Amino acid sequence: MKSLLSTIILVLLVSITNAQTRPEGEKRSMEAKKLQAMEMAFITKELNLSPDEAQKFWPVFNQYRNELKSIAKNQSVNDQLERQQKMLDVRKRYREDFSKCVDQQRANKVFGVEAEFRNLVRREFQKRESERANFDKRR
């Protein structure tokens, strides 16, 4: 597990170094990939996934994430409650799929861990935005 996290951290450091010399559009893509790698490391750690479990889990999780993105981007779903219901239906279906990769307890935990990561990222962005605003005021 430590070697997986060490590898991810090394990849992130190399990516950061490379991103400094890339065009703006490419930088955003690199940032998205770094964020995805951080999410994978966080979820892997929080769910305590073994390498075999991770190999089964991540393709299922990526499918789940793609379905949620598809619903979120679907312009034909105008009603917020309808969109939320569709997303809930996807989560229920994938909870069963996750339980085929890990035990039921950890399968139930996936959604909480995912939300926890989003909250961490949101707080970090808010903190950075606040720091940036304070820096701009001092100039």
Task: Return per-residue pLDDT of the chain as tens, 139 residues.
Answer: 555 554 455 444 445 544 455 555 666 788 889 999 999 999 999 999 999 999 999 999 999 999 999 998 887 767 888 888 999 999 999 999 999 999 999 999 999 999 999 999 999 889 888 888 887 777 7
pLDDT of residue 135: 78
pLDDT of residue 62: 95
Cα distances (angstroms) measured from residue 30 to each of 11, 55, 119: 11, 23, 21
| Burial label, 57 (beta-carbon count in 10 A; 0-12, 13-18, 19+) | buried
pLDDT of residue 122: 92
- What is the SS3 assignment for 100? coil
pLDDT of residue 37: 93
1-123-61 Cα angle (round to 5): 45
pLDDT of residue 72: 86
> Is this prediction's pTM over 0.85?
no
